[in-house]
Amino acid sequence: MPEKNYLTRSEQNIWEYIKDKDIVDNELVNRIFPEISGQKRRKILHSLYKKGYLNRAIKDLYYNPANLNSFYKVALRIRGGYIGLISALRFYNLIEYEDFTIFVITRRFRKKIELAGTNYAIQYIPFDKYFTGFEKKGDIYISSIEKTLFDCLLKPNLVGLSNITKAFYDAKPDWNKLIYFFKQTENSSLCQRTGYLLEMMKKIIKIPSSVFEALLPKVRYPVKLLPIKGKSKFNKKWKVQDNAGEKAILSWWN
């Protein structure tokens, strides 16, 4: 952040009002200074950014790093949606490391934004009909634990199979809530991959037979476990070509 410089009287007045806020935009300033034109408010906020008092997320949206406790809130202010995938796993303490890509699930919006001056990037991913299963926790919207696991299985290449299986082990999900999402989908390949992975995990965690009874009828055509090339081993029951291998999938356990 640049070295802080002298403030004009107008800048001082606004700074006194916003210095304790975590996220700042033109609308926030307008609530207390409606007599200042929108153009002048934008100019003052930009000046506070240039002088080192604020950081800029995108045009006309700023944050105070001294007050901000989570970039998840910034990500959802830039574009509405819910925190999901590996970011949700981190929120629920289902992975141990900090991932500097924040995943936001949207209905149709897709974009990647780099947050200047930080190590963070925000990845917006459209889920269309799967844009469901989220709830409000504090200041953010985030997928429930069960929907987080479902979403991770839907996009395993963005999360990693070992992270997914470890999350199942630690999460102890409500299996009825989890299987609800699978009953609503016609994505047979998703159900096949899930059934195969959960069957592999039966030796580690207790999984109700009703879970497999719900997934098995959805088996259709042969599918790859991951959308990558490489050697694979075919599982007849789930019609899955395992191109990852149990050693990698359960690397945290072996």
Mean pLDDT of the chain: 94
Q: Measured between alpha carbons, how far is 203 from 84 in angstroms, rounded to an integer? A: 28
Question: Can you tell me which residue has the tokens 């395992």?
Answer: 242
pLDDT of residue 1: 47
Q: Measured between alpha carbons, how far is 146 from 153 in angstroms, rounded to an integer? A: 11
Q: Measured between alpha carbons, how far is 120 from 115 in angstroms, rounded to an integer? A: 6
pLDDT of residue 98: 80
Domain boundaries, the chain: 9-63, 71-143, 156-254
**233-235 and 240-242 as β-strands: parallel, antiparallel, unpaired?**
antiparallel
Residue 175's Cβ-count burial label (10 Å; 0-12, 13-18, 19+) is middle
Fold that domain 9-63 belongs to in CATH:
Arc Repressor Mutant, subunit A (1.10.10)
Q: Any idea what the Cα angle at residue 209 is, between residues 204 and 215, rounded to 5°?
A: 100
Rounded to 5, what percent of the chain is helix, strand, coil? 45, 15, 40
126 closest CA partner among 187, 80, 194, 179: 80
pLDDT tens-digit profile, the chain (254 residues): 445 678 999 999 999 999 999 999 999 999 989 999 999 999 999 999 999 999 999 999 999 999 999 999 999 999 999 999 999 999 999 998 888 999 999 999 999 999 988 999 999 999 999 999 999 999 999 999 999 999 999 999 999 999 999 999 999 999 999 999 999 999 999 999 999 999 999 999 999 999 999 999 999 999 999 988 888 999 999 999 999 999 999 999 96
Q: Measured between alpha carbons, how far is 118 from 58 in angstroms, rounded to an integer? A: 13
> Model pTM?
0.92
